[in-house]
Amino acid sequence: MIFITKKSQIAESLQNASAIAERRQTIPILANIKIKTNKDQVVITATDLEVQLQTTIPKISVEEEGEITVSARKMSELCRSLPENENLKFELLNGKLHVSSSNFIADFATLSANDFPELEVNYEGGSLSASSGLIKRLLTKTSFSMASQDVRYYLNGLLLEFTKEGVKAVATDGHRLSVANSKKLDYKGEDLKYILPRKAVLELAKILSSDDEIVEILFSDSHITIKKTNLIFSSKLIDGKFPDYEKVFPRGKESSLIVDKTILQSALSRSSVLSNEKYRGVRFTLSINNLKLTANNPEQEMAEEEVDVMFSGGPLEIGFNIGYLLDVLNVIETDKVEMLFYGEESSCLLREPESTTETYVIMPMRL
């Protein structure tokens, strides 16, 4: 195997593959990426047996075809550290992958590509098409609410719902809920619900572009695959029943608060410095057109700040986790944010004013 490429052609593919490759090295070859050459292209594959990424790099000068596996982390880090327009020559010599540039030479240990496992995927459920930017937006707007190591394994992922009305992404860790939906999807099939694993969601959100490039989504009962130009991303699905998130939305008489997003973000960041490091709580005290934030900790330290808001409801005191509030504010794009309160014991609903495209629910905490 011999091929020549520029760093700029291969670096991003190596970095994306490195993020997919298994880090715990329970099976040594899963820490590797497979590099395969044919005709004028290089195909790079990485998998941890749950998620798999295959990237094709076209217009490569291939002198000799072949395939081999090398360390994903080492290859990615090496390539990233080289100058941008550096020409790289990859050559398989005596069982090692020889990489050379104008002033640099490296030999990488290899494992046979014949031993490299790949996901076995079948697609019995059908397919649909959507813009890359649409899927990326839905994932980015909700993924922060996923659980990470919850015993309720179905919470360690994100629910995708496809209906004739559009597509919806839902994530919850039991303390907060994020829902994003879009009607910009022409889907005429039966209603579908799939739970994507946490790692698949986070990597897809990084890999997908924000433009209108059309991607193809293929699915079965156990796998989902997203195909775009020169890229195939596959993942196992979480086999479980996602909770009925509609029941989480608070009901009853609501009191609306509208506040400048940047001002609230800054005030919460200051309050977090003196909040309890374990629970990170902040108390909201609401009165007509006024919000008082109070945070304290076991060291008897305290922070208090008043913020001008638009609020005409009755007096209210309620506590929240500062981190949960900041996570929501970080994905809201408007200058203002609306918070709907339903009483001191009920969850709070956050959204962009006069918009229902994305909705966030945060449970209160006792302080």
The pLDDT of residue 187 is 75
Q: What kind of architecture, by CATH, is found in domain 126-246?
A: Roll (3.10)
Say how far apart CA 136 and CA 30 lie, in whole Å.
27
pLDDT above 90 covers what percent of the chain?
Answer: 85
Model confidence over 93-151: pLDDT tens digits? 999 999 999 889 999 999 999 999 998 877 777 788 999 999 999 999 999 999 999 99
Round the average pLDDT of the chain to a whole number and report it: 94
pLDDT band, very low/low/confident/very high, at 250 (cuts 50, 70, 90): very high
Q: Do domains 2-115 and 249-362 have the same CATH topology?
A: yes
Task: For domain 2-115, give the CATH number.
Answer: 3.10.150.10
- The CATH class, in words, for 249-362 is alpha beta
Question: Any idea where the domains of the chain sit in the sequence?
Answer: 2-115, 126-246, 249-362
Whether the CB-CB separation of 178 and 350 falls below 8 Å is answered with no
pLDDT single digits (tens) 328-351: 999 999 999 999 999 999 999 999
- If one compares 110 and 39, the residue with the highest pLDDT of the two is 110
Q: Check pLDDT > 90 for residue 84.
A: no
Q: How far is 258 from 289, CA to CA, in rounded Å?
A: 9
CA–CA gap between residue 209 and residue 271 (Å, rounded): 35
Confidence (pLDDT) at 54: 97
- Give residue-wise pLDDT tens across range 236-247: 999 999 999 999
Give pLDDT, residue 24: 76
The whole-number pLDDT of residue 188 equals 74
Mean pLDDT, residues 162-181: 94
CA distance linking residue 316 with residue 73, whole number of Å: 52
